[in-house]
Structure 1
Amino acid sequence: MKGMDVCFSGLLTRAKHLADAGENRSDLAFSLQESAFSMLVEVAERAMAHCDKKELLLGGGVACSKILQEKCRIMCEERGAQMFVPANEFLVDNAAMIAWQGVLEKRKANKNYDEWQPNPQWRTDEVKVDWR
């Protein structure tokens, strides 16, 4: 974790190596979830402290997780803050938005998809948006 940016690629790589070495996959999945959710709660708490806020609104598909909700509820309770979670029908994943971003990038770049390379370390503040 860097500031309020999270990157899960190291966690996933380590988990894959452990799974390949024969570690229990259920234990690994639980540990990954605990680590990822703890990172998200810490980032939310940092943001709330930095901006002097007393409210937390969860969003996105991951907010459907009762485990994440409970971790956030505990953090908010400890901070004297309120937490809000919309109904699950309003907690949608970002897959369609990410796909549309790809369409816009493709149109602007005029490249073949096979020329593109994934970059999981790419920070959102480093992305040049020139298709507007």
Structure 2
Amino acid sequence: MRWNLTVFFLALFACVSYGLYQLSYEVQQLEDDLAGLRRGIENNHEAVKVLEAEWAYQNRPDVLQALAARHLPLLLIAPYQVAALDDIPVRGAGGGAPEMRVPVPRSRPGRGLRDRQAPPGSLHLASFSHGTERDEGVQ
């Protein structure tokens, strides 16, 4: 009987030892994975900080103005191109469609505008013309 108990406890001891051995290596592997993940997270935090600094650098007003001038062909609106409030049609009491009138620029549109200097940059001044003339670019 003693012999059977000794063999049983030796087998149990061997199984438990093997299980703990495997468990310790699995725990070491998981700790290595965790350390790698933490290094990856730290690297990502550093990359985010670098990208935020680059974003702040690229969002400077002078850079944005240069990009807008290059990619957005904006037209300046002359004061004579703005219609008066009286030119907007008023709805009638019946709720029907109002009479449509197209606002026409005021007479003598260029008066007083010749003395002004052109704004810096590559902006274009929009102009109203009755004939087939094209808009003039201001450089």
* TM-score in terms of structure 1 length: 0.22
**Whose Rg is larger?**
2
In the superposition, the TM-score normalised over structure 2's length comes to 0.21
